[in-house]
């Protein structure tokens, strides 16, 4: 058995329509896992991911949910269990900047939406899955935080950065809480990754300025995040790793 062998395992990837979530889903499929692909609104995108998973020789199911709604998040896990019978790995990838806005101009509704999309979603899905993992004797949760959680984010993204900082803290706290149950909780912290996220929210000049702070002199790709996710999910490779935030940022931040 290889170090990256996820045969007979079921992996839930939230936000699997594009970017890091889609790349992670394909990565798990290539290593033998059955993948439950979550999406919110981008059904076309998640069907593209499904096709890529099938091309990689894997199997997948599609699951729609608004993870900012805790009830919907709970139903997602119920639906995956009904379909696959078990869950071994959860990748909490769903999230969005929502909108770049200076703090003084952020309306209450936008503030709460950013927190719900990035933080409530992680909390709600994790709260639902911990009892499942306990009953199975273990499991792995990998959250996707951001370099913004450490450096405060780029222009107009203070609330987003705050939500991601909270995800990092939640990762460490939950890891302590569930370690006795054989459940590992870790996170990856991407830097500037070329995804639809930046296509929506980052202009050319801002992107150029960001790249100027990266020692490697370029943006990363979603695929360059996958190896770290697979490592953290692997019981053979990372059985003694929990509560860690691994930076994937081309040297932009070296804490």
Q: Which residues are catalytic?
A: 160
Q: Say if CB 46 and CB 16 are below 8 A apart.
A: yes
CA 192 – CA 197 distance, rounded (Å):
10
**Radius of gyration in angstroms for the set of CA atoms belonging to the chain, rounded to a whole number:** 17
Task: Say which DSSP state 67 is in.
Answer: T
The DSSP code sequence of 100-168 is ---GGG--HHHHHHHHIIIIIHHHHHHHHHHHHHHHHT-EEEEEE--THHHH--STT-HHHHHHHHHHH
For residue 223, report the phi and psi dihedrals to the nearest 5 degrees: -65, -25
CA 174 – CA 141 distance, rounded (Å):
10
For residue 139, report the phi and psi dihedrals to the nearest 5 degrees: 170, 175
How large is the angle between the packed helices 121-136 and 158-178, nearest 10 degrees?
Answer: 20
At 221, list the tokens.
């790709």
Candidates 105, 103, 84, 76; CA nearest to 16 is 76
């Amino acid at each position: 058995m290889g170090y990256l062998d996820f045969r007979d395992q079921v992996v839930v990837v939230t936000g699997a329509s594009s970017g890091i979530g889609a790349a992670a889903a394909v990565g798990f499929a290539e290593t033998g896992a059955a993948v439950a692909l979550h999406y919110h609104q981008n059904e076309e995108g998640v069907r593209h991911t499904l096709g890529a998973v099938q091309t990689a020789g894997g199997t997948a199911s599609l699951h729609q949910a608004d993870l900012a709604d805790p009830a919907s998040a709970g139903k997602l896990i119920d639906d995956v269990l009904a379909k696959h019978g078990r869950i071994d790995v959860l990748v909490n990838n769903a999230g969005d900047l929502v909108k770049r806005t200076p703090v003084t101009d952020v309306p209450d509704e936008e503030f709460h939406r950013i927190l719900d999309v990035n933080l409530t979603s992680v909390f709600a899905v994790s709260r639902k899955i911990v009892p499942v993992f306990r009953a199975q004797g273990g499991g792995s949760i990998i959250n996707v935080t951001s370099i913004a959680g450490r450096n405060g984010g780029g222009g107009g993204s203070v609330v987003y950065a705050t939500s991601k900082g909270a995800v990092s803290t939640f990762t460490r706290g939950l890891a302590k809480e569930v370690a006795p149950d054989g459940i590992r909780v870790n996170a990856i912290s991407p830097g500037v990754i070329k995804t639809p996220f930046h296509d929506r929210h980052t202009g050319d000049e801002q992107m150029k300025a960001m790249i100027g702070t990266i020692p490697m002199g370029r943006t990363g790709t979603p695929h360059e995040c996958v190896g770290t996710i697979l490592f953290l999910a692997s019981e053979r490779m990372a059985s003694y790793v929990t509560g860690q935030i691994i930076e994937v940022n081309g040297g932009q931040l070296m804490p």
